[in-house]
């Protein structure tokens, strides 16, 4: 993505409890488990104030549905009190690092607005969406100022699966049904009750391909 195309710099939190460390590796793992190709944010700010790059600025993020192609995503560790209640858990080190990072990003894309996404309501999918500043009043106001000390800081918006990923899931599902149908036909084909080894091999190949589309990986041990 070119800096001129960036319309928003979006601030998130990891929506994790402040007394439980949430490492970049854990963030990466959890995002991959949700179908993403790595962590969806461009930067991650630890409680210590350490800023960790996750994606190049030129790479489209996966952090806010419908606006990934025109935004950069910044996430800070925390956002929930030890009792699980949403609150501003930023440490002083995080606030300093956040202000510095936002200034740098604004220098690269001065036309971009800084938008803070809040947890409006956790649905069954835990998804959130970004509405432009002139849109729904349910979304927090954006600001051009890099000082975010008075802004709400609670979010867990994630992009839905891409059309490509959705197509892969459909193909994998169809392949699973085809494999089961293949076994059923082979079972009732004379001599009934016996499945030829070639059918089992074909079934294994089909299911291996379907598993790959589902994202399942395995290795043989020698």
**Mean per-residue pLDDT over the chain, rounded:** 77
Put simply, whether the predicted model's pTM sits higher than 0.95 gets the answer no
Q: Is the residue at 152 inside a domain?
A: no
Domain count, the chain: 2
Residue 94 and residue 149 in contact, taking contact as beta carbons nearer than 8 Å:
no
Would you state the pLDDT for residue 115? 87
Query: Among 116, 151, 179, where does a domain finish?
Result: 116
Q: Is the residue at 220 inside a domain?
A: no
Residue 119 and residue 56 in contact, taking contact as beta carbons nearer than 8 Å:
no
Using one digit for the tens of pLDDT, what is the confidence trace for 99-119? 999 999 999 999 999 888 754
The CA–CA distances, whole Å, from 220 to 201, 217 equal: 17, 11
Q: Is the residue at 70 inside a domain?
A: yes
Same domain assignment for residues 108 and 170: no
Query: Which two tokens mark 49?
Result: 């104030």
Residue 98 and residue 74 in contact, taking contact as beta carbons nearer than 8 Å:
yes
Q: Is the residue at 22 inside a domain?
A: yes
Using one digit for the tens of pLDDT, what is the confidence trace for 1-32? 789 999 999 999 999 999 999 999 999 999 99
Same domain assignment for residues 93 and 170: no
The 8 Å CB, 24+ separation contacts for 34-43 are 34/158, 35/161, 35/165, 35/215, 36/62, 36/158, 36/159, 37/62, 40/73, 40/158, 40/159, 41/12, 41/73, 41/74, 41/75, 42/72, 42/73, 42/74, 43/72, 43/73, 43/74, 43/75, 43/101
Residue 40 and residue 62 in contact, taking contact as beta carbons nearer than 8 Å:
yes
Return the H-helix or E-strand segment holding 171: helix 163-188
Range of the domain at 210: 163-214
Same domain assignment for residues 188 and 111: no
């Amino acid at each position: 993505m070119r800096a001129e195309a960036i319309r928003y710099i979006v601030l998130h939190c990891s929506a994790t409890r402040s007394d439980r460390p949430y490492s970049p590796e854990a963030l990466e793992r959890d995002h991959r488990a949700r179908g993403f190709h790595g962590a969806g944010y461009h930067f991650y700010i630890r409680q210590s104030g350490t800023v960790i790059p996750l994606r190049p600025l030129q790479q489209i993020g996966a952090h806010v549905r419908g606006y990934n192609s025109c935004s950069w995503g910044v996430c800070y560790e925390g956002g929930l009190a030890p009792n699980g209640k949403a609150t501003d858990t930023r440490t002083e080190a995080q606030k300093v690092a956040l202000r510095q990072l936002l200034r740098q990003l604004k220098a690269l894309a001065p036309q971009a607005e800084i938008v803070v996404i809040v947890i409006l309501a956790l649905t069954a999918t835990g998804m959130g969406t970004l509405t432009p500043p002139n849109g729904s009043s349910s979304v927090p106001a954006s600001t051009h100022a890099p000082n975010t000390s008075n802004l709400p800081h609670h979010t867990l918006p994630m992009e839905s699966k891409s059309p490509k990923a959705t197509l892969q899931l459909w193909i994998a599902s169809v392949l699973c049904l085809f494999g089961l149908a293949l076994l059923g036909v082979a079972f009732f084909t004379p001599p009934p009750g016996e499945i030829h080894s070639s059918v089992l091999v074909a079934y294994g190949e089909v299911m291996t391909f379907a598993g790959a589309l589902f994202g399942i990986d395995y290795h043989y041990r020698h």
